[in-house]
Amino acid sequence: MTSTEIKALTGQYVMNTYGRFPVAIDHGVGAKLYDPEGREYIDFTSGIGVTDLGYGNEKWVDAITVQAKKLGHVSNLFYTESPAKLAEILCKRTGMSNVFFANGGGEANEGMIKLARKYSFDKYGKGRSTIISLNNSFHGRTMATLTATGQERFHNYFFPFVEGFRFADANSMESLKEVTAAGDVCGVMLELVQGEGGVLPLEKAYVKSVAELCEKNDLLLLIDEVQSGVGRTGSMFTFQQYDILPDVCSFAKGIAGGLPMSGIMANEKCRNVLTPGTHATTFGANPVCAAAGLVVQEILSDEFLQGVQEKGKYLCEQIEALHLPCFGKTRGMGLMIGIEMAEGYSNSDVADKLVAAGLLVLTAGPGMRLLPPLVITKEEMDAGLAIMKKTLA
């Protein structure tokens, strides 16, 4: 099909819930994507932080193919090898204790919320079920995670929202103490780098203090690493750069390099909170997705993750060196990069221009967001930078 035909068919038969760029994608290689007519795009998006190995990675394709031929799905009523192995690797690389696998980020966060409420119920009984999240956060599109998302613009249409959520300001212990004072709180849920909110890393001292407050009051520290996890910021999980061990940590986007998979990891204190019958998902721990996840873990060695930090630094420095009139400062960690807009420029206008010129980028909050494949080469980064220079100078 041609691009025009694909767009027309989508418009007719797929619900119109996405603001799409006017581009159809057919295939990809490394960090390059191609439309059906063969036009090339440099990818600084990874399908919103998902395709950390880029496109067409041979090891990934082979592992998926082999596993699909053996067994595509059997459900969690039986034992399978690849999810067990993936859970082991995740725990050994992070110090967490065990894993529950799900399918998407919002669903993983639902599990994290349920775990926190059950932990508190088991120990203290009713009345201690409130979850604190941060203003400007993003936690998903399900009813509970939408409620937990601390941005007013998401709290529309779908009333009534879920009970038992309150918000604190990022980087303010005063605000957190105020909203936890009533004694009805069971957990504090944070993104260490607010992604959708604009790529805003939390302050290290603040996160340390949050962890201490949680420990002191037996509140669970719930870290949402759906976007920041799995090598994106240059460590397997971002909490490792904050010197904390969460009680529960969710992950999703990059975990299987492009197949739908997510999950939560619990520390030793929380490993037995969810018991048979209290949580489940039919598609969870899919053996094909887990086989893909094993390849991601193999490629994302500690040495490779060091390279992610260096690539991120290079990209930020080179963007700043272009002195583009539309951009302010760059910030971020590893290959999770935010760019502020200069006064009078709109992030969506700039994104439209770049995509039209052959460079795929994202927006977040009021700024730009770059999430290139973690395997991106210097040559591919330079090709993207050249498009930025040509289009925006």
Site for ligand PLP in 211-230 (CB under 6 A): 224, 226-227
Among 112, 200, 252, 255, binds ligand PLP (CB under 6 A): 252
Site for ligand PLP in 165-194 (CB under 6 A): 191
Determine, following the binding rule CB under 6 A, whether residue 138 of this chain makes contact with ligand PLP: yes
Binding mask 75-104 for ligand PLP (x = CB under 6 A): -----------------------------x
The Cα-based distances of 250 to 109, 190, 191, 292, 321 in angstroms read: 6, 10, 10, 18, 36
**Judged by CB under 6 A, how many residues of this single chain contact ligand PLP?**
15
DSSP helix/strand/coil, 246: coil
Instruction: Give the shortest CB-19-to-ligand PLP separation in angstroms.
Output: 15
Among 106, 150, 229, 373, binds ligand PLP (CB under 6 A): 106
Which window, 137-145, 302-310, 340-348, 350-358, contacts ligand PLP (CB under 6 A)? 137-145
Instruction: Give the shortest CB-217-to-ligand PLP separation in angstroms.
Output: 24
Instruction: Give the shortest CB-155-to-ligand PLP separation in angstroms.
Output: 16
Nearest residue to ligand PLP, scored by beta-carbon proximity: 105
DSSP helix/strand/coil, 223: strand
The nearer residue to ligand PLP, 227 or 241, going by C-beta atoms, is 227
| Owner of token pair 């460079």 | 359
Asked whether 7 and 348 are in contact (CB, 8 A), the reply is: no
The pair of structure tokens assigned to 319 is 């963007």
Instruction: Tell me the residue ranges of DSSP E strands in 346-390.
Output: 359-360, 362-364, 367-370
The nearer residue to ligand PLP, 85 or 141, going by C-beta atoms, is 141
Give the contacts of 350 (CB within 8 A, at least 6 positions apart): 326, 341, 361, 368, 392
Identify the bridge partners of residue 150 per DSSP, sorted by sequence position. Answer: 135
Instruction: Give the shortest CB-250-to-ligand PLP separation in angstroms.
Output: 7
Instruction: Give the shortest CB-25-to-ligand PLP separation in angstroms.
Output: 19
What is the separation of C-alpha 132 from the centre of its chain, rounded to a whole number of angstroms?
19
The nearer residue to ligand PLP, 130 or 145, going by C-beta atoms, is 145
Determine, following the binding rule CB under 6 A, whether residue 139 of this chain makes contact with ligand PLP: yes
d(CA 127, CA 332): 38
Give the contacts of 225 (CB within 8 A, at least 6 positions apart): 191, 192, 237, 238, 239, 249, 250, 251
Site for ligand PLP in 264-323 (CB under 6 A): none
Among 47, 83, 140, 373, binds ligand PLP (CB under 6 A): 140
Instruction: Give the shortest CB-289-to-ligand PLP separation in angstroms.
Output: 13
The Cα-based distances of 317 to 171, 206, 233, 365 in angstroms read: 26, 27, 16, 22
**Three-class SS of 209-220:** HHHHHHHHHCCE
Query: What residues line the site for ligand PLP (CB under 6 A)?
Result: 104-106, 109, 138-141, 191, 195-196, 224, 226-227, 252
